[in-house]
Amino acid sequence: MRRPFLLLAPLFFACGTSSTPPPTPAEFTYKPTGCTYEVKPSASLGLVDVALDDAASVPDGSAAPVRVRLGLGAPAPADPSTTATFTWETTGAVKASKVRFGPKGSAPTEVRAGYSWTTPTPTSGFGTDEPPAHMHEVHVCGLQPGTTYSYQVGGASSAGEVWSDAQEFTTVPATGTLTLGVSGDSRDDKSVFQLVQLRMRDAGAVLQLFTGDFVLWGMQASLYDGWLDAAWRDPKDATKFLTMGQQYYIPVPGNHENGSAQFYGNFAIPTSGANAETVSSLNVGSAHVLLLDDQSLSQSATSDQSVAQLAFIDQDLAAADGQRAVHPFVVVVNHRGMFSTANHGGDGDVKAVRDLLVPLFDKYHVDLVLNGHDHNYERSKAITTTTGTPTAGGTTYIVCAGAGANAYTPGTAPSIYREKNVAFGGNTAYVGVYGLITLDAKKLSFNAYGMKASAGGVSGDDLVDTVDFVK
């Protein structure tokens, strides 16, 4: 069972000592229409008032859906070419939770029902003076790959209907060349995070991967509201949308989220049983992507959660290694940069994660690991072993963490494994860094960009690094 973990830095102590709210009723189950799986929210999150869509709930002024976001809730490995999960919030505790959708250009005649819950206010630490979050979620299966749908979320009752504005999203194509977005550590400046989102829209990313530390204090609900607002609406035209409800957004938490119910309540991440969402995976184009909340592993290798996570990782990567003909590239996303020469590279929690995971990555020939935590850009050589030995065919580790967090100074000491690092902030030309992955059947290319505040889009930013993986 997952519980909040103490953060290492004393400054964060209050964030890790709050008591856990009452558990979710064990009997609650949501069976999405047309899906082959069930959703059972983890009791360790302490969600309350969990309820299926209720047509008798009366919409009022507090029922308008806001901050609609698109994710994945299917069991691992999830498939964004045929499934989607819609999450939103309301200011009131209404239970109307539906999505209506249809192919672009047609009336949204398909309707699916979901469920709602309340994420309680923390009882101590950050966020105790803020109201609870009233959340809604609907899972949709059986979609067509590479298809653009229009949709609205909300619900109906005998008293009327309340729906969000209509917007569009596109499922991930089953074939062809795909673009994925990569960013991390947005926690300090949401205007920079918004610039990253503009780049992701400009690049036409079909899915975004985020490497953790979305906000500064993971239990403070209002911070999520601010950062999600920055990605939901177009800053130049509030009647239009940006990326959060248009592109699949799949984050892993960082140490600042600290396993909080607020983080997990805000995003739909592929589920995995008792440790739902703390470790999971998805298939996108020619890549298999493992997603990991490394907070537990950084604190104790023998905790129940850590043991379950390591077992899942071993099984998932073994299966992925056996499916190279279908998904030739294996990618891992977690927060702590296991091979970094910046501020956190020598920290004890980072070393703990490295010692646990690198042998598994070596065993199953992981191609690429994406991290955050150190606020810069750094790429390793292809390496193996926990000492970072350069090895042909080894794993490449990339820290890509410049989506709003205050900049760190890149490492300058000699390193056997460092291939490239890039600074942002300070006297540099860049306000942040981000990455774009281009995937086709036999090639994965990672391009890193130094983001300029004055640039008109990706084409105005500098390509600061590139690496190719070819099968």
| Structural tokens at position 320 | 């992925």
Mean pLDDT of 54-59: 70
Other Cβ atoms less than 10 A from the Cβ of 310: the count is: 17
Q: Which H or E run includes 354?
A: helix 348-363
pLDDT at residue 65 above 90?
yes
pLDDT at residue 253 above 50?
yes
| Confidence (pLDDT) at 61 | 63
| Confidence (pLDDT) at 63 | 78
* Lowest-confidence region among 1-5, 100-104, 319-323, 433-437: 1-5
DSSP 12: G
What is the distance between the alpha carbons of residues 21 and 119, in angstroms, rounded to a whole number? 9
Other Cβ atoms less than 10 A from the Cβ of 25: the count is: 13
Q: DSSP 3-state assignment of 315?
A: helix
| Confidence (pLDDT) at 23 | 45
Other Cβ atoms less than 10 A from the Cβ of 2: the count is: 25
| Confidence (pLDDT) at 43 | 84
pLDDT band, residue 5 (cuts 50/70/90): very low
Tell me the whole-structure pTM to 2 decimals. Answer: 0.94
pLDDT at residue 10 above 80?
no
Amino acid at 403: A
What is the distance between the alpha carbons of residues 249 and 258, in angstroms, rounded to a whole number? 19
Name the percent of the chain lying above pLDDT 90.
Answer: 83
What is the distance between the alpha carbons of residues 208 and 143, in angstroms, rounded to a whole number? 19
182-219: pLDDT as tens digits: 999 999 999 999 999 999 999 999 999 999 999 999 99
pLDDT band, residue 391 (cuts 50/70/90): very high
| Domains of the chain and any CATH numbers | 29-470 (3.60.21.10)
Beta bridge mates, 162: 155
Please state, in angstroms and as integers, the Cα–Cα distance from residue 338 to each residue in 296, 349, 352, 369, 373, following that order.
15, 10, 9, 9, 10
444-461: pLDDT as tens digits: 999 999 999 999 899 999
Mean pLDDT of 104-116: 93
